[in-house]
Amino acid sequence: MASPFTRLRVELKNTFTGTGAQPPAWTEELADGDDAGYFAPGSAVWAVHSSMTPTVGGIRALLLQALHPGAMAGVYAHSNFREDPLGRLANTIRWIFTVTYGSTDAARGASAWVRRLHEKVTGTYVDANGVERAYSANDPHLLRWVHLAFTDAFLSAHQQYGLSFPGGADEYVRQWAKAGELMGVSDPPRSAGELREQLAAYDGELTSSEQVQDALAYIRRPPLPRSQRLGYRVLFAGAVATLTPRQRELLGLSLPHLGPVRLPVKPAVLLVLGVMKLGLGSQSPTEQAALRRIRRVQKHPPAGA
């Protein structure tokens, strides 16, 4: 009979990949390719994305993205977040990890695949001023918003709950701008200051709605195994704690506390992230595959390189 820790490890891996104890097949594909990719081991992006803080950042990104009615309309009408929210999470993780750890060809291919999926995501939405507008998931304005929300969420979560990383916030934003470019974002922010400025330009477009509250219910309580529910509650509180007061107000959320005695959020988040790291391992299969590719390329550079 498997030990409780072994069961927890399998359940954690299944939550993030949907494939149980075995890593998904696509992780091995990251060992293929003829170059080191866009982000080297030890880079700011690699350091942030290889930590556990993206689990908090991912929740924060979903909360923030939902506040733009154009982005929310696309998710609400075209996503299967109600039927398979964890499957949607696994697809997002696949894109992020492929861009982070894959070869340049793999990163470009994964981004092109997502953009092709976006071609059919069209419709209308009611903006913050009550005006009906058309939207497309590949619209440059919405693509920028999604990139900004991801960048801000991953950076904010790591600054709050992670270790220091090379170059700090400015370097992370500068490097991750490549992901925005791959998705069709022109002139994405390349410093923390530019990130704040571009986010501020969307302030007047953000609003709450019944759709936002419906999505929030799924984000707050996804269909997780019983063993993960308390930990997720802590991570959700950690994500909410990094939002601005106005963002929390629009979402109808208050500054979180844990339990009747108002336990501080940060120590609880750090504890949960530590347990997750023990369960998932210190180095993910995606990192391992990427490092094998990088060592091979360094040892046997392709002809003409």
The helix (H) or strand (E) run that includes residue 133 is strand 132-136
Q: Which residues contact 73 (CB under 8 A, 6 or more apart)?
A: 123, 124, 125, 135, 211
As a whole number, mean pLDDT of residues 137-161 equals 96
For the stretch 44-95, pLDDT in tens is 999 999 999 999 999 999 999 999 999 998 887 777 666 665 666 677 888 9
Interhelix angle 168-182/85-101, rounded to 10 degrees, is 110
Q: Which residues contact 11 (CB under 8 A, 6 or more apart)?
A: 225, 227, 228
| Paired tokens of 232 | 């997720």
- Tell me phi and psi for residue 274, to 5 degrees: -65, -40
Q: Which residue has the higher pLDDT, 278 or 71?
A: 71
DSSP state of 82: T
The CA radius of gyration of the chain, in Å to the nearest whole number, is 19
pLDDT band of residue 278 (cuts 50, 70, 90) is: confident
Residue 114 sits at the vertex; the CA angle it makes with 111 and 118, to the nearest 5 degrees, is 135
- Least Cα distance to 148 among 197, 100, 104 occurs for 197
pLDDT band of residue 178 (cuts 50, 70, 90) is: very high
| Residue 123, pLDDT above cutoff 80 | yes
As a whole number, mean pLDDT of residues 226-237 equals 89
pLDDT band of residue 1 (cuts 50, 70, 90) is: very low
The reported pLDDT for the residue numbered 7 is 62
- The letter for the amino acid at 278 is L
pTM as predicted: 0.90
The reported pLDDT for the residue numbered 77 is 77
- At 122 the three-state DSSP class reads strand
Q: Say which range, 41-50, 203-212, 217-226, has the weakest mean pLDDT.
A: 217-226
Domain ranges in the chain are: 4-280
For the stretch 246-271, pLDDT in tens is 999 999 998 876 655 566 899 999 99
Largest CA distance in the chain: 65
* Whole-number Å distance between alpha carbons of 169 and 190: 10
* Whole-number Å distance between alpha carbons of 174 and 189: 7
| Residue 27, pLDDT above cutoff 60 | yes
